[in-house]
Amino acid sequence: MSTSTGAGQERKAAGRPRNAQADESILDAVLALLSDGQSVAAISIEAVAAKAGVGKATIYRRWPNKEALLIDAVRAMKGPLPEPSGRSVREDLIALVRAHRTPRAQRYSKVTACLLPELLKDTELGRMYEAFVEPRREMTRQVLRRGVETGELRADLDVEMTQLMLSAPGMMQSMLRLNLGVPEEKFAETVVDAVLRGAAS
Amino acid sequence: MSTSTGAGQERKAAGRPRNAQADESILDAVLALLSDGQSVAAISIEAVAAKAGVGKATIYRRWPNKEALLIDAVRAMKGPLPEPSGRSVREDLIALVRAHRTPRAQRYSKVTACLLPELLKDTELGRMYEAFVEPRREMTRQVLRRGVETGELRADLDVEMTQLMLSAPGMMQSMLRLNLGVPEEKFAETVVDAVLRGAAS
């Protein structure tokens, strides 16, 4: 298994010279179908091929089945997580929340929303999604644990709940397209400061 | 329009004596289909009738179309909101969060998850859902505003963000069935105290 983050490198490593443009169109077609509210069941290799403007054979050369294609599409959507700078817990948390607010990540939220019925079933896709999301949660936990150690965060912090409190508002806001009256460029900071400072006077 | 909260009374007001048992079976069938991950498009009056063990005519006597039926099913799912006791903001917030943790509300979260692709489109159902959820958000806002006035909450509180921070973790936890290591009977209290006290030391 290559640990490369670049899809292009992965393809070279597998010894399969490819049309990167076509691959991108294919993954993009899957995401477009999902963000349009197509259920996983309704998406067919035929539909993806038609949307991407390629033949079915082009898809089958790269992906053995629809599930593998869906998993790659979801994976392709999210960019790499930012490296926590380690300057302050507050700054690192803002960077982590902000990484979920890019247009790419916003599209991801919308696709996740459309995948939810599928993720709720105990499917291979659900397990892969979990395997994909979990390291991202873990990165937030690590920053929170560091904050407890340095004394920036309270000693009795519930790390798991705090991790969810940092991620859930943004996901719900994206999924339900809520207008919170917070300008997008202030969103991450507003969430993190609300979590850090608390609501009590 | 009757403002009665009892479906039975609404029916009486409309002058249509009915089989309450059949109505409940019908709404329950819709919810069962939705929690099984059926998309809105896939649900037909035929399927609901079959699942409920009634004839299609019984459904059409009460609901003019599928959308009206779906809206009633979603509405039927959630019980009435608790009246804030007004003793303390903390107690009221715990009661409001707890109202979303009953088995009935948990089922609601699962159904919402399966409705999400539909809610993301600009459908009549989406607008009705919003009209249904909004008063519940408003109740939380009112408790928060009261807390700012009484001095229990900070004067510069972002009411909208705080409202989302109180509701989003529970919704995400239910939708994705996350195990946070918090016993269910402590969930509401844990969320509220995390929001109130903040993570900073």
pLDDT digits (tens, 9 = 90+) for B11-28: 444 444 567 788 889 999
- Region class of B121: left (phi > 0), else alpha (psi between -120 and 50), else beta: beta
Q: pLDDT value at position B6?
A: 41
Q: Which residues of A42-80 are buried (b: 16+ CB within 10 A; e: fewer)?
A: ebebeebbebbebeeebbeebbeebeebbbbbbebbbee
Nearest to B173 among A113, A164, A175 (CB): A164
pLDDT digits (tens, 9 = 90+) for A122-137: 677 777 777 778 888 9
Q: pLDDT value at position B79?
A: 67
Here the tokens at position B145 are 């505003």
Backbone phi, psi, residue A38, to 5°: -70, 135
Q: Do B195 and A196 touch (CB under 8 A)?
A: no
Domain annotation covers residue A4: no
Q: Among A25, A57, A77, identify where a domain stops.
A: A77
Helix (H, G, I), strand (E, B) or coil at B81: coil
B98 and B73 in a common domain: no
CB of B131 less than 8 A from some CB of A = no
Higher-scoring residue by pLDDT: A67, B26: B26
CA atoms within 13 A on the CB side of A63: 20
A103 and A56 in a common domain: no
Measure in Å the smallest separation between the Cα of A98 and chain B Cα atoms.
16
- Region class of A133: left (phi > 0), else alpha (psi between -120 and 50), else beta: alpha
Residues contacting B23, CB < 8 A, separation 6+:
B7, B11, B62
**Contacts B180 to A, Cβ<8 Å:** 160-161, 164
Domain annotation covers residue B1: no
User: Residue A66 belongs to what domain range?
Assistant: 16-77
Mean pLDDT of B34-63: 88
Domain annotation covers residue B116: yes
Mean pLDDT of B81-86: 80
User: Choosing among B90, B161, B172, which should be mutated to test the A contact, i.e. which has the most A CBs within 10 A?
Assistant: B161
If you write DSSP's letter for every residue of B134-149 in order, what string do you get? HHHHHHHHHHHHHHHH
Q: Do B114 and A117 touch (CB under 8 A)?
A: yes
Q: In chain B, what percentage of residues exceed pLDDT 70?
A: 87
Helix (H, G, I), strand (E, B) or coil at B40: coil
Per the CB < 8 A criterion, the answer to whether B31 and B108 are in contact is no
> What is d(CA A113, CA A122) in angstroms, rounded to the nearest whole number?
16
B150 and B56 in a common domain: no
Helix (H, G, I), strand (E, B) or coil at A153: strand
Residue B7 has pLDDT above 50, yes or no: no
pLDDT digits (tens, 9 = 90+) for A82-95: 788 888 999 999 99
Say which CATH number the domain at A33 has: 1.10.10.60
Residues contacting A151, CB < 8 A, separation 6+:
B201
Residue A4 has pLDDT above 70, yes or no: no
Nearest to B200 among A114, A153, A173 (CB): A153
* DSSP class of B186: G
Residue A36 has pLDDT above 80, yes or no: no
CB of A189 less than 8 A from some CB of B = no
ipTM (interface pTM): 0.77
Sign for the CA dihedral angle at B111, A116, B188, B154 comes to: negative
Mean pLDDT of B167-196: 90
CB of B151 less than 8 A from some CB of A = yes
Domain annotation covers residue A83: no
Q: How many CB atoms lie within 10 A of CB B53?
A: 11
Distances in Å between the alpha carbon of B85 and those of A55, B81, B139, B149? 64, 12, 12, 17
Domain annotation covers residue B6: no
pLDDT digits (tens, 9 = 90+) for B124-139: 777 777 777 888 899 9
Distances in Å between the alpha carbon of A102 and those of A25, A80, A136, B98? 20, 12, 15, 33
> What is d(CA A145, CA A112) in angstroms, rounded to the nearest whole number?
28
How far is the first Cα of chain A from the last one, in angstroms, to the nearest whole number?
A: 52
A111 and A185 in a common domain: yes
B162 and B114 in a common domain: yes
> What is d(CA B91, CA B76) in angstroms, rounded to the nearest whole number?
26
Quote the mean pLDDT of chain B: 82
Q: Do B195 and A198 touch (CB under 8 A)?
A: yes
Residues contacting B14, CB < 8 A, separation 6+:
none
B178 and B94 in a common domain: yes
Return the number of CB contacts < 8 Å for A and B.
157
pLDDT digits (tens, 9 = 90+) for A133-160: 888 899 999 999 999 999 999 999 999 9
Q: Do A117 and B181 touch (CB under 8 A)?
A: no
Say which CATH number the domain at B155 has: 1.10.357
Spatial CA neighbour of B112 closest among B160, B172, B161 = B172
How many domains does chain B divide into?
A: 2
Here the tokens at position B94 are 């715990």
B100 and B47 in a common domain: no
Q: Among A25, A45, A77, identify where a domain stops.
A: A77
